[in-house]
Amino acid sequence: MAKKQRLKLFERIHLRFEIDRVNPLTALSQFQRPIISKHLYMFLLSVIASSVTVILLLQTQKQEVAFMGGVFVLAALLWVTEALPLFATALLVIGLQIILLANPGEWRGFGFEGGIGPTYREILSPFADPILILFLGGFMLARAAVKEGVDKALASSILKIFGDKPMYVMLGLMLITGGFSMFMSNTATTAMMITLVSPLFIALRDDDPLRKGLVLCIPTAANIGGMGTPIGSPPNAVAIGFLRSEGININFLNWMIIGVPLVIILLFIAWLLISKIYQSPDKEVRLSTRKREIKPRGWFVITIFSTTILLWLTDQWHGLPSAVTALFPIIVFTATGVIDRKDYNNLEWHIIALIAGGIALGMGMKMSGLDVILLSLIPTTSSFVFILLITATILLSIFMSNTAAANLIIPLGISLATLSFGIGEVEVAYYGISIALASSVAMALPISTPPNAIAYAKGYLATKDFVRVGIVMSLLAIVLIGVFGPDVITFWQTK
């Protein structure tokens, strides 16, 4: 009897399993986001808005402008809402441009209505852009430094130079973080520095505001440090890629001449601000760090790292472009086994795709003529347009990925500068560079940047801590970049 009951129970369970298996709702529940949940609705709304844009534009514009307008709206909404991963949206942009603009299948109703459109090879060309190789070389350097413990060893050794007084220890933390973020991922730098700073809390009381200050200064410095070099932040790469398409080449040293002084100024002001707000009430606090040893493999990494940077800074003498120099650490580290297959597979390939998608979006806007249509809506004669672009970049970057924000605004800024000043002019360069720099100082919320999110996850900081420091730095950046930036960049570019 018991056996028959168990058999019936098994049959009911098995039948229920089969019903669930063929139930479409149950099947959908097995997928991870964004296939289902609120991300699906955001995606559908974005598609609807994009389709409406295409329909409206088709009534007054050529079909290539209408198609590109729909792609632009779709990319903007998906990047803002993150209904799809950022890199997935970038790949979608490239795919749609191939189908709608290049039309390799020669389908009726697609392609260019006026004249010959681009080929699919042209739209795929951002994947072969030299700036991607430059970034890949930067990723390799960072991965090798982290793997061999060079980052923590150097940071702890340099930090000892600043003594044990809290104010100067904080200055040391910010300078080291900012310096590393010029050549490493600011996310990886933040994670490493927060790990390094944790032992410093031993000398502090639990309610000491200096705890917050020591944690907050790290993501602040990491965000600012990314402004210093072409590989410091993805928006920098996006700007360089667009400028190259306008016949303006910005080499490694030129960018540093513009970016590093701004980094130093912002770091110094951020240090004064954070050290003042989060000052310890105890006057005799001493903070000390533990020294870490660099192994022989680590010294090898330091040698290659230093040689690569030296080659980047002297390209005007030896003639090798920055992207070619970036192949040096890639080849050496992979050939010697410092970077193995697992390390290679774990590089930030999503950033590469995101940068390529941004460059492709700008190319599509230019080839279709959408940029001219959008610029006709902007009062180009106004002296405040440049500052408005900088402000819009910062505001967008506070609530979405700064790379995505740069992808949307940099092509508009460069097209505006080209229309106003002419192709190849120095003003075009400062529009692109300034917008990229502005996107790195948007850090007023925990979600604004990955470094902010890492620091927030430690549990020491509240949203208001990011707000009061981030808003001050954003306003300061608008003044420094928006008001004084054009003069500084023009001065250096004409030297």
Per-residue pLDDT of the chain (495 residues; tens, 9 = 90+): 555 555 554 455 444 444 444 444 444 444 444 444 457 888 899 899 999 999 998 888 888 889 999 998 998 888 878 788 888 888 999 999 999 998 888 888 888 887 777 888 988 988 888 888 888 888 888 888 888 888 778 887 777 777 777 788 888 889 989 998 888 878 778 888 887 777 777 667 777 788 888 889 999 999 999 898 888 888 888 888 888 877 788 888 888 888 898 899 999 999 999 988 888 776 666 666 666 778 888 899 999 989 998 988 887 788 888 888 889 999 999 999 999 999 899 888 888 888 888 888 888 888 888 877 877 776 655 557 788 888 888 888 887 777 888 888 888 888 887 776 665 566 777 788 888 888 888 888 887 788 888 888 777 888 888 888 888 988 888 888 877 766 666 665 555
pLDDT score of 424: 55
Q: Residues 38, 39, 41, 42: is their CA dihedral positive or negative?
A: positive
Q: Are 98 and 104 in contact (CB under 8 A)?
A: yes
pLDDT score of 83: 83
Q: 């506070």: which residue's tokens?
A: 398
**Orientation angle between helical segments 252-277 and 210-225, nearest 10 degrees:** 160
The amino acid present at 345, given as its one-letter code, is: N
pLDDT score of 132: 87
Q: 């808005």: which residue's tokens?
A: 49
Q: Are 81 and 46 in contact (CB under 8 A)?
A: yes
Helix (H, G, I), strand (E, B) or coil at 47: helix
Residue 11 CB coordination number (10 Å): 10
Straight-line distance from the first to the last Cα atom of the chain, in angstroms, rounded to the nearest whole number: 96
Helix/strand/coil percent split, the chain, to 5 = 75, 0, 25
Q: For residue 371, count CB atoms less than 10 angstroms from its CB and return exposed for 0-12, middle for 13-18, buried for 19 or more.
A: buried
For 368, the token pair is 């279709």
Q: 């970016």: which residue's tokens?
A: 259
311 vs 207: CA distance, rounded Å? 48
Q: 68, 21, 72, 74: which is closest to 49 by C-alpha?
A: 74
Measure Cα distances from 54 to 45, 60, 110, 404 in Å: 14, 10, 12, 22
The full DSSP string for 402-451 is HHHHHHHHHHHHHHHHHHHH-TT-HHHHHHHHHHHHHHTT--SSTTSSHH
52 vs 151: CA distance, rounded Å? 50
180 vs 184: CA distance, rounded Å? 6
360 vs 269: CA distance, rounded Å? 37
pLDDT score of 138: 85
Which residues contact residue 139 at a Cβ distance below 8 angstroms, ignoring those fewer than 6 apart? 185, 347, 348, 351
446 vs 426: CA distance, rounded Å? 36
DSSP code, position 284: T
Q: Are 120 and 102 in contact (CB under 8 A)?
A: yes
Q: Are 280 and 199 in contact (CB under 8 A)?
A: no
Q: Are 102 and 368 in contact (CB under 8 A)?
A: no
pLDDT score of 457: 78
Q: What torsion, rounded to 10 degrees, do the Cα atoms 435, 440, 444, 448 define?
A: 110
Q: 């994670």: which residue's tokens?
A: 191
**Orientation angle between helical segments 234-245 and 130-147, nearest 10 degrees:** 160
pLDDT score of 17: 43
Parse the chain into domains and list their residue ranges.
1-30, 33-124, 150-293+378-493
For 73, the token pair is 């709206």
pLDDT score of 286: 62
Which residue blocks in 100-149 are alpha helix, DSSP H?
120-124, 130-147
pLDDT score of 71: 92
Q: 111, 212, 211, 193: which is closest to 155 by C-alpha?
A: 193
Asked if omega into 34 is within 30° of 0 (cis), the reply is: yes
Q: What number of residues does the chain have?
A: 495
